[in-house]
Structure 1
Amino acid sequence: MAAKSLLTPVALGSTTLRNRIGMSALTRSRASGTVPNDVMREYYVQRARGGAGLIISEGVLITQQGTEWPEAPGIWSQAQIDGWKNIVDAVHAEGSKIYAQLWHLGRLNHPAAPEQIAAGVPVYGPSAIMARGGRFRHIPGVKDYVVPTELPDPKTIIALYKQAALNAKAAGFDGVEMHGANGYLIHQFLDSSANQRTDSYGGSPKNRTRFALEAVAAAQEVFGADVSIKLSPTGGNNDLGMPLPETVATFGHLLQQLEALPTKLAYVAFMRYNPLHDPIYPDADGKTRATQFDVITTFKPYLKQTPLWANSALSLEEALAYVADGTAAGVFFGLNWIAHPDLVKRIEHGKPLDNQIDFAHLYGAEGVDPALGYTDYKTAAY
């Protein structure tokens, strides 16, 4: 199949992308503490030089949190803003656009993590319900999540999203992607398995979507049309997931409300079902919460004006078909960008995707060069 459908320009919010191939957010744990640095700049520049139409930053913490990912960057301090501006300016010089993915972990923090201790606040979730699983490899003796404190006033976090958007604007980002997927805070509010509140943020689909809609509205006060949201309705990852009828009712209501916004979103990104995001938890029931169904086919009819971008384990053939038949305005690749900094050029020139991912250094390793498995992948000959 010719790659032409992916290589044409496309409108995105207030701007235009040079092609329809995006780089999905990819946590890589290379920040200096929580501050973006020069090795991160090189990583993003390589992928902009390799042709990315749109780059979504790795998850950017909107406030000091005890993430399970050490060396994850934030955007609450001036040093972080300056670090991101150094990256964003360099990406723009290579012809790509870049959105910041705004990220709050919710119940997936840990009170023993150094950043959480420094923050001096509890681990918050929509309700006091612990997630199964946990990957706190950098905290000695810790392997599980904790029961979170029910967030007393969700509007306090909404204010943090707005401030993060203001900081992203100051850093020069072209827009923001609200992280509403993979079991993090916005997703937790959407899902009744994590959200059992009895106030106006819990219960019905209308109430459970309120937090997501308020977060989007806060970001739009800053970026207008250059706001998007990433959703993973199949659940599973980080112990979320509802029965199919409830899933469709909840995400359907959310999409109807997003579609009705006076200022349309730049896009809605849907993560399809992916076994990699469907872990079996090591407890007595041995089950996952994932609800397997065709997310794109189910929710495409809800979006009459808002562009849909497809994500998660897309083959090149699927990506081409989605865009060629109008199902998606664009597509995101993730793992292929890790090993192929020149991914778009390879697609354009018919080069094989033959680099192997260095999984041993996917998230770096203590005492080794951070470039290893990060900025040392070879480009093809053209």
Structure 2
Amino acid sequence: MSTLFTPLTLGSTTISNRLGMSALTRSRSSKTVPNDIMLKYYVQRATGGAGLIVTEGVLITRQGSEWPEAPGIWEKSQIDGWKKITDGVHNAGSKIYAQLWHLGRIAHPDAPEQIAAGVPVYAPSAISARGGKFRFLPGAPGYVKPTKIEDPTVLIAQFKEAAINAKAAGFDGVELHGATGYLVHQFLDSASNQRTDKWGGSPENRARFALETLKALVEVFGPNVAVKLSPASGYNDVGMPLQDTIDTFGHLLREADKLGLAYVTFMRYVPYLDPVFDGKKRGTQHDVLSTFSPFLTKTPIFVNAGITPAEAEELVSSGKVAGVFNGVGWLTHPDFGTRIKAGKPLDNALDFATLYGAEGVDPALGYTDYKEAVY
């Protein structure tokens, strides 16, 4: 693993190795405010060898999430909570980006935070996603028809304000969540975005929201801005024919490559995250890395979804990627990076029952109680 554990400069930040921790929703905040158990969780992983940590999705404004304890970054108490975490991660020798997240149509109007926001569920078009299950609401309802956002620049301004708050909280950078069927992906996708103005229609117009949002984030964080994309994903009822996928994401990447981003993360096709509708998978299965890498000539590439340590070493040493992100490995092994470097087995099993916590259950269960290896 000699190449995997070499330093890498991303933007103005140098990370100690090429092994990053990807965003993992865990639903452990105090309502929307980061807390001490989250601090422990992130510091455990920073101490355990993560070169770069990307936070769980951080909501940029009040939204009716399927995870009612997802953290936000729109008010001072949240900024203060995140500042403790960024300080802890830095003291442990790692770097940390905030993943900025807007749900778009994957929110529910009856969720407490959406009610508190006093606004509708917004999306590029008034088209409901299929599926969904809000288990904390009576009857576990699915997704609903959203309200079309008339002026998308309002949402771009919210992303920029979130980046300003992230900088105040001490983050090293921000990653725009452009994957798995959330707001940015909804603008990109021809099924969820059926607008006829400059924000919809052609691949260039559908990519406009992502590009304008990235530009706004760069105004705040300079070169320390990244984006995560999942062109093959069918999660949350997105997915286009292959040529439309290539045309849309290809344009996005060509233009994003001009912005001096820290990195782009490609999420590979994940079968268990691809729902079945009308008897067939929703996503567009293809080799995301080989298809879209040629569109980036200057921007470092990361890849995630099911990357084994051996594959990570091969991908980095061959120059196909600058680094890799892992999710479940870090979730179940707080010392994931240290284990790999020391050749220790990855032998902690994932407990799905405690993945997102539960009311009345100790939040440490399945969160900060996974065992470290003996060295």
TM-score bracket, normalised by the shorter chain, equals over 0.9
Q: How many residues matched?
A: 375
Structure 2 CA distance, aligned partners of 1:133 and 1:318? Answer: 33
- Conserved? CA contact 1:57–1:98, under 8 Å: yes
Deviations 1:108-139 (A, max 9, x none): 00001000011010001100111011020111
Structure 2 CA distance, aligned partners of 1:58 and 1:348? Answer: 25
Deviations 1:32-82 (A, max 9, x none): 000000000000000000010000000000000001111000000100000
Structure 2 CA distance, aligned partners of 1:226 and 1:85? Answer: 18
Match of 2:102 among 96, 101, 104: 104
The structural deviation recorded for 1:287 is 2.8
Aligned to 1:83: 81
Aligned to 2:208: 210
- Conserved? CA contact 2:126–2:146, under 8 Å: yes
Partner SS, residue 280 of structure 2 = coil
Aligned to 2:349: 356
- Conserved? CA contact 1:107–1:185, under 8 Å: yes
Match of 2:177 among 176, 179, 189: 179
The answer to whether 1:162 aligns with 2:160 is: yes
Partner SS, residue 206 of structure 1 = helix
Structure 2 CA distance, aligned partners of 1:195 and 1:40? Answer: 35
Aligned to 2:59: 61
Structure 1 CA distance, aligned partners of 2:89 and 2:258? Answer: 33
Mean Cα deviation higher: 156-165 or 353-362? 353-362
Structure 2 CA distance, aligned partners of 1:72 and 1:332? Answer: 21
Aligned to 2:370: 377
Aligned to 1:317: 310
The structural deviation recorded for 1:288 is 3.0
Structure 1 CA distance, aligned partners of 2:113 and 2:359? Answer: 18
Structure 2 CA distance, aligned partners of 1:286 and 1:319? Answer: 34
The structural deviation recorded for 1:143 is 2.2
The structural deviation recorded for 1:366 is 1.4
Deviations 1:359-381 (A, max 9, x none): 11111111111001100011011
Partner SS, residue 237 of structure 2 = coil
- Conserved? CA contact 2:227–2:263, under 8 Å: yes
Q: TM-score, normalising length from structure 1?
A: 0.97
Aligned to 2:188: 190
Partner SS, residue 291 of structure 2 = helix
Partner SS, residue 245 of structure 1 = helix
Deviations 1:308-336 (A, max 9, x none): 00111112222111101000000000001
One-letter code aligned to 2:144 = V
- Conserved? CA contact 1:235–1:242, under 8 Å: no
Aligned to 1:279: 275
Structure 2 CA distance, aligned partners of 1:368 and 1:244? Answer: 44
Structure 1 stretches of at least 4 aligned residues deviating more than 4 Å after TM superposition: none
Structure 1 CA distance, aligned partners of 2:280 and 2:107? Answer: 22
Segments of 5+ residues of structure 1 without an aligned counterpart are none
Give the alignment's Cα RMSD to 1 decimal: 0.7
One-letter code aligned to 2:112 = P
Partner SS, residue 114 of structure 2 = helix
The structural deviation recorded for 1:140 is 1.2
- Conserved? CA contact 2:22–2:326, under 8 Å: yes
Query: Identity rate of aligned residues, in percent?
Result: 66
Aligned to 2:31: 33
The structural deviation recorded for 1:277 is 1.2
The structural deviation recorded for 1:100 is 0.2
Structure 2 CA distance, aligned partners of 1:74 and 1:147? Answer: 24
One-letter code aligned to 2:73 = I
Mean Cα deviation higher: 287-296 or 67-76? 287-296
Aligned to 2:71: 73
- Conserved? CA contact 2:275–2:282, under 8 Å: no
Structure 2 CA distance, aligned partners of 1:97 and 1:276? Answer: 30
Segments of 5+ residues of structure 2 without an aligned counterpart are none
The structural deviation recorded for 1:302 is 0.9
Structure 2 CA distance, aligned partners of 1:129 and 1:322? Answer: 39
